[in-house]
Amino acid sequence: MAEAPNTQAASAPQRPRRRRRGRVLALLLGVLGGLLVLELGLRLIGYAGAGERTRRAFDPKYATVEADSWIFDFEIDPARHHAVELRGQHIPLAKREGERRVLFLGDSATAGAFLELEQAFPARFEQLLRERDPETSVRAINAGVWGMTTIDAYHLLVDKLLPLQPDVVVLGLFMANDINFNLGHAQRELQVQAPALIDGLRKRSALAHVLFLQALALNQRHRLLGAEHLGSAWVPRELALIDEHGFHMLSYPAGEVALYMRRPSALALEAFEVLREVLADFEALGEREGFRFRVLLIPTPSAVTGRLNVLHHPDILHELRGAGVEVRSADLDFAAPTRRVLGICRELAIPCTDPTRAMTRLGLAAFFAGDEHPNARGHAVLAKALMTP
């Protein structure tokens, strides 16, 4: 008679395995639950930098712009479209006989930050032309985009706006941050994005975004990764851009102050070289596509008043001192960035309008209180300056 199998002995080794699997499952559920609580907590309570995730879009070509920017859905197919809407501007693709088009590119200062579209200098410029000549056939098109750099504007023109057939392209160069922010593209290599997985996570998860920001801050503080790794690894190269004076070139206030230094850093000089290259690209594109290229400087309150006036960061010198960067008044030359840009334009034979002297008559009254963007009066000065050939 065969013996019955010892089922109790056979099942004994399986019990510890089941218990281990149960503990692992419970641990995983606990970790996931904890992460979910942290995610919900960060979304409810908020955190420093949350606006970057909720209001900004990380685009590999156009860098960091407003998430609801018109550029993402804007496409022109001349085979199907007879007209387009651009920021509320209805633009037929076919020009009227004799019509000339002036396309304005730039960032928030060109777009008309905090103003209605008709108050911004492109529309004011067209209005002045019509007042001077009621029969004028000039159409001004405002294609300014919040957060856009000079390099972004070039790619926007090449990728999306050439079918508008501009006769003249005017670049509004916002002197407060456009020059130094161009460095964020790492010498126009446009490698400022994290890999797709990390970039996707930080777009969608508050927790992932917080960890990403903390990792960047940790690297900035302790230089765990060298600059040569910052473009190819998972941290953007832009965060290594601290010059020898200690200025973070991609900080809105610090990067502006860095360009005023009488003894410019190597990174500051590099920023002007990057600008020279992209302006040369604009000029070459104009020769190929048949438009004239022109630059309009949009001055800072510091350049207009001749003293440091970073209106949105009035304590910038104190903040810099706290970070170990000592800046004396004798170190600063507020006209230096303008001189350098005008020199680049002369070198490239590009017409460049500098309204700094005209805005000096208004002083700080040309800007919004607590902000470096020109107000309606400032935009009126910019438009009038463009009337000069």
pLDDT tens readout for residues 185-219: 644 443 434 556 666 777 778 887 778 767 655 55
Q: Is residue 45 part of a domain?
A: no
Q: Supply the mean pLDDT for the chain.
A: 85
Q: With 50 as the cut, is the pLDDT of residue 110 above it?
A: yes
- When pLDDT is averaged across residues 293-320 and rounded to a whole number, the result is 96
Confidence of residue 41 (pLDDT cuts 50, 70, 90): confident
246 within 8 A of 316, measured Cβ to Cβ: no
Ranges 70-74, 107-111, 211-215, 358-362: which has the least confidence: 211-215
Phi and psi at residue 275, to the nearest 5° = -60, -45
Cα 145 to Cα 62, 65, 68, 249: the distances in Å are 10, 8, 11, 21
pLDDT value, residue 48: 64
Neighbours of 39 (CB within 10 A): 15
Tell me the backbone φ, ψ of residue 310, rounded to 5 degrees: -90, 90
Among candidates 157, 202, 153, which has minimal Cα distance to 181? 153
Beta strands in the chain, from DSSP E residues, in sequence order: 56-59, 63-66, 83-86, 89-92, 100-106, 138-142, 168-174, 292-298, 352-353
Average pLDDT value for residue range 166-192: 79
Position 239 scores a pLDDT of 44
CATH number at residue 179: 3.40.50.1110
Of 175, 184, 181, 172, which Cα lies nearest the Cα of 143?
172
- Least confident among 20-24, 121-125, 261-265, 360-364: 20-24
89-92 vs 83-86, strand pairing mode? antiparallel
| 279 within 8 A of 350, measured Cβ to Cβ | yes
Q: Write the Ramachandran bin of 246: left for phi over 0, alpha for psi from -120 to 50, otherwise beta.
A: left
What are the residues facing 59 on neighbouring strands? 63
Domain housing 170? 101-187+249-386
Domain-embedded: residue 165: yes
CB 323 within 8 A of CB 246: yes
Does residue 136 lie in a domain region?
yes
Query: Which of 26-35, 62-71, 99-108, 355-364 is the least confident region?
Result: 62-71
The model's confidence at residue 18, banded by pLDDT at 50, 70 and 90, is confident
DSSP letters for 88-129: TEEEESSPPTT-EEEEEEESHHHHTTTS-GGGSHHHHHHHHH
Q: Domain for residue 253, yes or no?
A: yes
| Measured distance CA(200)–CA(209) in Å, rounded | 10
Number of compact structural domains in the chain: 1
User: What is the C-alpha to C-alpha distance for residues 298 and 296, in angstroms, rounded to an integer?
Assistant: 6
Alpha carbons 63 and 44: distance in angstroms, whole number:
27
Q: Report, as an integer, the average pLDDT of 66-74.
A: 78
pTM of the model: 0.78
Q: What is the DSSP string of 17-60?
A: HHHHHHHHHHHHHHHHHHHHHHHHHHHHH--TTHHHHHHEEEET
Convert the pLDDT of each residue in 274-295 to its tens digit. Answer: 999 999 999 999 999 999 999 9
Residue 128 banded pLDDT, cuts 50, 70, 90? very high
Residue 362 lies in a domain: yes
Closest by CA to 157, choosing from 124, 85, 297, 168, is 168
Q: Is 5 exposed, middle or buried (0-12, 13-18, 19+ CB in 10 A)?
A: exposed
Amino acid letter, 340: R
* Whether pLDDT at 223 is above 60: no
Using the structure block, give the residue that is written with the tokens 């002369």.
Answer: 346
Residue 380 lies in a domain: yes
> Which residue matches tokens 């405002």?
142
Which distant-in-sequence residues (6+ apart) come within 8 Å of 349 by Cβ? Answer: 283
Task: Return the amino acid letter for 61.
Answer: K
Give dist(CA 211, CA 49) in Å, integer: 11
Any domain includes 329: yes
Q: In a 3-state reduction of DSSP, which class is residue 352?
A: strand
* Residue 350 included in any domain: yes
